[in-house]
Amino acid sequence: MAAMQTAQLITPEGDTISLPPDVYEAVLNMLEERRETACQMPRAKLQALIREMRGKYAGERSLVEALLVERAKERAEEARRDRAIAERFFK
């Protein structure tokens, strides 16, 4: 009876990793399942969706807009503190 060979996995960096047969089979099964459930959206439609949703999350405003609003609140708080200090020390 011949011994089962160890599978060799080559990483993107060129390193070789030895895998026992059971791990190799598990990896193959996982990759096959991922391939079957991969997004089948046409590339043009996917790119249009990415452009439309760029900077947005779950229907909310864009990240840039959210950061600008947050910074405006911070500036208002800083101005309030500055006025309080000025009133206290420079009357």
Residues 20-49 have pLDDT tens digits of: 888 888 888 887 877 766 667 777 887 777
d(CA 26, CA 32): 10
pLDDT of 57 higher than 70: no
pTM of the model: 0.35
pLDDT of 11 higher than 90: no
Q: State both tokens at 27.
A: 């990896």
pLDDT band at residue 1, thresholds of 50, 70 and 90? very low
* Helix (H/G/I), strand (E/B), else coil: 91: coil
Do both 52 and 34 map to the same domain? Answer: no
Do both 61 and 34 map to the same domain? Answer: no
Q: How many domains does the chain have?
A: 2
Do both 49 and 24 map to the same domain? Answer: no
Residue range of the domain that includes 90? 43-91
Do both 47 and 34 map to the same domain? Answer: no
Do both 32 and 51 map to the same domain? Answer: no
